[in-house]
A and B are shown apart, each in its own frame.
Chain A
Amino acid sequence: DGGITQSPKYLFRKEGQNVTLSCEQNLNHDAMYWYRQDPGQGLRLIYYSQIVNDFQKGDIAEGYSVSREKKESFPLTVTSAQKNPTAFYLCASSRTPWGELFFGEGSRLTVL
């Protein structure tokens, strides 16, 4: 079955550590996205990529980095510069930049 796979589902990080969240899709979609979700707030866009080897900052990119070396993969690194990284992270893809989003199951990051 086609879909988006995020891993790990749960991740614990000590302060000062970088962590990388994996996102893989086999839907053959060009566009991929990373969102952050906090309680009581809407999804906020961290980074997005509309084509391989190209990506743009979203609304809250500070403290995060991404790469898009393959169409299927869009990993997100949460760096030590991110002041409040504890959140639920969602990866998504779409066939076109304006098409409906298909989401993964999410990764919950907790900073200890």
Chain B
Amino acid sequence: EDQVTQSPEALRLQEGESSSLNCSYTVSGLRGLFWYRQDPGKGPEFLFTLYSAGEEKEKERLKATLTKKESFLHITAPKPEDSATYLCAVGAYGSSNTGKLIFGQGTTLQVKP
């Protein structure tokens, strides 16, 4: 069964304390892995798409990497405004997953000043 698992569920950091969020996936064939940021009471906002192992993408203090089994979202020197829930989603090949993404449960990040 196709599955996406994010860890940890919650992460509390001090401002400037770098860390990583994990997204592990089990799918029959990866079409793409997506990272989103979601603020409370809002819709998710797209961050990155990764398509193949070894690919990396960066945006400000965020860097996403991809292996054959997992993706990491690295946060360098975070600021309080980086506090949010980060969602990982995977698009998979196969007739049962045509046009659908499988979402993880999310990691809620809190950055304290």
Contacts and interface: CB of A to CB of B under 8 A. Distances in A.
B100 A58 contact: yes
Contact of B105 (A40, A92, A100): A40
Contacts, number: 55
Nearest to B92: A98
B49 A100 contact: yes
A90 B99 contact: no
A41 interface: yes
Interface string A94-112: 0001101111111010000
Contacts of A61: none
A44 B106 CA distance: 13
Interface of B is mostly: strand
A31 interface: yes
A42 B42 CA distance: 15
Given A40-B105, A41-B105, A42-B105, A98 B43 contact: no
A42 B4 contact: yes
Interface of A: 4, 6, 31, 35, 40-45, 48, 50, 56, 58, 90, 92, 97-98, 100-106, 108
